[in-house]
A and B are shown apart, each in its own frame.
Chain A
Amino acid sequence: MAGARVTVVISQAQGRNPVKRQLEEDIATALIAEPGVDVSLVPHLYDMSQDHTGYLFLRSVPGNLIVLSWLYERATRWTLDRAGVRGQVGTTVLKSADDELDEDADDDNEKESSGSDGIGSLNVPDRRLYCIDLRVSESASVYLNEIRRIVNENSVQVVDLMSWIGGSPKQEQLERYLQPERMLEARRALDSGTANHQDKVSLPEDTGRRWYPVIDYSRCTNCMECIDFCLFGVYGVDQLDRILVEQQDNCKKGCPACSRVCPANAIIFPQHKTPAIAGAEGEVGGVKIDLSQLFGGDTGESAVELAVKERDAELILAGRHAVGMSVGVRQAHREEIDQLIEDLDALDF
């Protein structure tokens, strides 16, 4: 009975920006009627806790999966990886306005870490996971065309949604993700201030803003610089001695210092303003001008100096002593790191 279905999950923007809401709604509404596609909406990926029903839902999707979110693709992929939602890298042609032109056919199914020195992810299932950045275009049709292209290139047989969710103990809680039309309706009611009890039940649990690093294991070499540098106990290692973000809530909101000292640029803060830290591949970001530099974000310091300063500020706020360059900074790496960050920064403009 089941055809070759692809599940599309839209990770909603933070806040209630009407422009973003509208794009999400336009895409979801069109996909509800689209053959071969199941569509769901979940809260913003980065803000959901690991046991949020949105992640329970995502983990239970068995087949090929397309995730659209307001994040760079790398940030989406590794935020999902952290939550145990994995898949082989599905290649999307929707990257940035520049390389949207041709190149789709041949680089169909590239290797996980494409020749890098990264330690890679673990237990990656044999299905494809496509991550698409909703900031690439303002037009729903651009995303719909890409989703149709992906549906056409996949012909894996999967069971239909109801039968795989059945039997789960959380069935009722996951039900809402199978009714995107109802969820959109409830969301409209919420935005206009007329939400009733039924609407609230149809919506996922609320999520608050969070701040923590996400590791890109296709780049991470397990060098342990981050665990040495961070003095707040965010990092730890697992049973295989692989680095992981263990105590994410120890992380200091707004502080991206560890990502600046990472020699492999493997630490992503998806909400950071600098594209290289937020997970950009190096492609030019949005078309809008970023005025942050003019409004106070400008600094003439090197990446490591900046990281040390950011860390000191957080230490002092926490009632501890500043340590400057004396802890967790490997002298030999400094110049190299600065060069790397400079190169990355140069790409933004």
Chain B
Amino acid sequence: MSEPLHFMMGNFKAFIPEDRLYSRRHLWLQEVSGGLYRVGLTAYSVRLLQDVYFLEWSVDPGTQVRDRQEIGEVESSKAISSMYPPCAGEVVRFNPQLLQDPSGINADNYGSGWLYEFRPAETLLQPAEYIEVLEAGWENTQRTIKGQMNE
């Protein structure tokens, strides 16, 4: 049996399950019913964030959002970030469990730690295409992180 699809972040293996689609915003999308997808953070993004202790959404369920629109905020032991949708589409509902306790993201990012349900209005990436995005962006990612460290 060959090893599951993954991307090496230094020594860390970020697994990329092949039972779903991806966005270049480092989110996975898995269809739950016709055109409705569950969205979550990929192993790659969780690795960068590490322990998430704060998650907040700034749009209401049912909102049509555009690509790159800020829809929320996440804070972890190591980082902060705005949250963006995978692409243009509709944010249908948020995972109520995470609103209570966002650490579910770390516990099971590909499962019960999903972020929200979403109706994408654009084409998504296949797992292999997402890996290509990661490969192409890895240098830049490291630069971004190092560039922000004070030493």
Q: Does A111 contact B (CB under 8 A)?
A: no
**Cβ of B79 and Cβ of A291 under 8 Å apart?**
yes
A253 closest partner in B (C-beta): B58
**Cβ of B48 and Cβ of A290 under 8 Å apart?**
no
- Binary interface profile of A, 290-301, with partner B (CB < 8 Å = 1, else 0)? 111111110100
User: B73: shortest Cβ distance to chain A, in Å?
Assistant: 8
A15 to B58: give the CA distance in the assembly, Å: 11
Chain B residues 70 to 119 lying within 8 A of chain A, measured CB to CB, are 70, 75, 78-85
- Choose the segment among A155-163, A281-289, A330-338 that binds chain B (4+ C-beta atoms closer than 8 Å): A281-289
Q: Does A89 contact B (CB under 8 A)?
A: no
The listed residue (A287, A290, A299) touching B68 by CB distance below 8 A is A299
Q: Does A3 contact B (CB under 8 A)?
A: no
Given contacts A291-B81, A294-B48, 9 further A-B contacts (CB under 8 A): A15-B54, A17-B53, A254-B69, A287-B150, A288-B80, A290-B79, A291-B79, A297-B84, A299-B68
Report if A293-B80 is in contact (Cβ < 8 Å); known contacts: A19-B53, A254-B58.
no
The listed residue (A17, A289, A297, A349) touching B82 by CB distance below 8 A is A297
Question: Using Cβ atoms and an 8 Å threshold, which residues of chain B touch A349?
Answer: 147-148
Q: Does B66 contact A (CB under 8 A)?
A: yes
User: A309: shortest Cβ distance to chain B, in Å?
Assistant: 10
Residues of B bordering A, CB below 8 Å? 25-26, 45, 48-49, 53-54, 56, 58, 66-70, 75, 78-85, 137, 141, 144-145, 147-150
User: B66: shortest Cβ distance to chain A, in Å?
Assistant: 6
Which of B70, B78, B85, B150 counts the most A-chain CB atoms under 10 A from its CB? Answer: B70
**Cβ of B78 and Cβ of A297 under 8 Å apart?**
no
Q: Does A149 contact B (CB under 8 A)?
A: no
Q: Does A209 contact B (CB under 8 A)?
A: yes
